[in-house]
């Protein structure tokens, strides 16, 4: 199977993860305006699952290092398969709850709370499981990224001019989403071999882990998204019939969104071998910076922002730049 040979390439893969995780949501903007997120989400999940199978049957089955996908899946023990599958279920629930929190409490509350918790807790959890890199430098970098997220939230709130009271329900859902989002990566890593070239018996190689993880998302989505369709956090309920009324553009943009996200997840898992799970996950969550770049420079979300917002955006970018730089440097320090 294809694996990475150096830390430098692993860092490059982490930055690709950051680009993918920060960009996939643009596909939803490209879908028809009348196309509800609940309907978009079916195709998004399908895209994740299909790409995981494609990677497993190609990159995961070539070369002489490690085990091929079929051989690896056949020898995997129940505990490893269960761990990666649960990771998919946890991620899917966290993702849906975060979307619900954004609908209730707004982006300026839900995003920094949810992603902030996911980033800090996730890096800590993954570092404790697989220590790699200088912990002081890692968590200094994480702290800077967290400050950047909060500054971004303040800029968004000032720009929107929102003075309404924060929804306690939305805040609680944001916290739950963040805690769950922090856990999913650890579940996947726990089921994986520590050495990709000579993987331990019973453990999963990265491509098998991604397929099982994607299967967890796919299967759990039947329950989670069905509930969301019938009891949406915003708007009227939608049906399966509405999904099949969608045109080609609506469906293909959803699949593309899932493909982009899965490329990021796959590259992050591959990079975790040389970079360590904590650094790999932390750099990937720098996706907030990429999303901010899309919002500021492409979608012009802050075009009519009041005075002071541009300064906040500059501070945000500086915090992210140095925070991500420290994460990269931590492995060589």
pLDDT (tens digit per residue) in 185-238: 999 999 999 999 999 999 999 999 999 999 999 999 999 999 999 998 878 999
User: What's the confidence (pLDDT) of residue 119?
Assistant: 86
> Measured between alpha carbons, how far is 156 from 106 in angstroms, rounded to an integer?
10
Q: CB-based contacts of 320: which residues, under 8 Å, 6+ apart?
A: 144, 145, 148, 286, 288, 289, 292
pTM for this entry = 0.91
Could you give the CA distance from residue 140 to residue 120 in angstroms, rounded to a whole number?
11
Residue 1 lies in a domain: no
Dist. CA 97–CA 310, nearest whole Å = 30
What pLDDT, on a 0 to 100 scale, did the predictor assign at position 163? 53
pLDDT at 263: 98
Q: What is 47-101 written as a DSSP string?
A: HHHHHHHHHHHTGGGSSSSS--HHHHHHH--HHHHHHHHHHHHHHHHHHHHHHHH
- Check if the beta carbon of residue 235 is closer than 8 Å to that of residue 103: no
How far apart CA 136 and CA 115 sit, in angstroms, is 21
Note the maximum CA span of the chain: 61
**Cα(218)–Cα(259) distance, integer angstroms:** 13
What is the domain range of residue 123?
Answer: 7-330
Domain assignment present for residue 232? The answer is yes
Distance CA 63, CA 270 (A): 15
With b for 16 or more beta-carbon neighbours within 10 A and e for fewer, the 57-72 pattern comes to: eebbbeeeebbbbeeb
| Model pLDDT, residue 161 | 65
> What's the confidence (pLDDT) of residue 157?
80
Which SS3 state, helix, strand or coil, does residue 133 take? coil
Helix axis angle, 248-275 to 7-23, nearest 10°? 150
Q: CB neighbours (10 Å) of residue 86? A: 20
**Is 139 within a domain?**
yes
Residues 67, 165 contacting (CB under 8 angstroms): no
Dist CA 214 CA 287 (whole Å) = 20
Q: What is the pLDDT of residue 292?
A: 79
- Domain count for the chain: 1
Q: What is the pLDDT of residue 162?
A: 55
Task: Answer whether residue 246 is part of any domain.
Answer: yes
Name the stretches of the chain with pLDDT < 50: none
- Whether 304 maps to a domain, the answer reads yes
Residue 9: predicted pLDDT: 96
On whether residue 2 sits in a domain, the answer given is no
* Interatomic CA distance for residues 320 and 149, integer angstroms: 8
Give residue 116's pLDDT: 82
Q: What is the pLDDT of residues 45-80, one digit of tens each?
A: 999 999 999 999 999 999 888 999 999 999 999 999
């Amino acid at each position: 199977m294809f694996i990475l040979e150096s830390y430098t390439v692993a860092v490059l893969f982490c930055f690709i993860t950051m680009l993918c995780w920060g960009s996939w949501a643009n596909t939803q903007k490209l879908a028809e305006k009348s196309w509800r997120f609940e309907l978009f989400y079916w195709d998004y999940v399908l895209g994740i699952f299909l790409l995981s199978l494609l990677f497993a049957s190609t990159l995961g089955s070539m070369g002489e290092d490690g085990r091929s996908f079929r051989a690896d899946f056949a020898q995997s023990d129940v505990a490893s398969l269960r761990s990666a599958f649960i990771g998919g279920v946890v991620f899917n629930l966290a993702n849906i709850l975060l979307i619900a929190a954004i609908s209730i409490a707004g982006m300026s509350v839900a995003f920094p709370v949810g992603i902030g918790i996911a980033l800090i807790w996730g890096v800590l959890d993954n570092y404790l499981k697989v220590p790699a890199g200088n912990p002081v430098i890692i968590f200094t970098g994480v702290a800077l990224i967290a400050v950047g997220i909060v500054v971004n939230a303040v800029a968004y709130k000032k720009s929107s001019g929102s003075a309404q009271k924060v929804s306690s329900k939305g805040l609680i859902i944001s916290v739950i989403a963040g805690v769950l989002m922090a856990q999913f990566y650890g579940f996947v890593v726990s089921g994986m071999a520590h050495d990709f070239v000579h993987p331990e018996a019973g453990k999963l190689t990265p491509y098998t882990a991604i397929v099982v993880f994607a299967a967890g998302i796919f299967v759990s989505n039947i329950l989670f998204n069905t509930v969301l369709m019938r009891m949406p956090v915003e708007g009227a309920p939608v049906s399966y019939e509405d999904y099949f009324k969608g045109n080609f553009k609506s469906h293909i943009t959803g699949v593309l969104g899932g493909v982009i996200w899965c490329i990021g997840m796959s590259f992050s898992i591959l990079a975790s071998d040389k970079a360590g799970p904590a650094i790999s996950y932390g750099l990937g969550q720098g996706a907030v910076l990429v999303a901010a770049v899309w919002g500021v420079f492409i979608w012009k979300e802050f075009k009519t922002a009041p005075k002071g917002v541009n300064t906040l955006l500059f501070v945000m970018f500086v915090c992210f730049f140095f925070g991500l730089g420290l994460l990269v440097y931590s492995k060589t320090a």
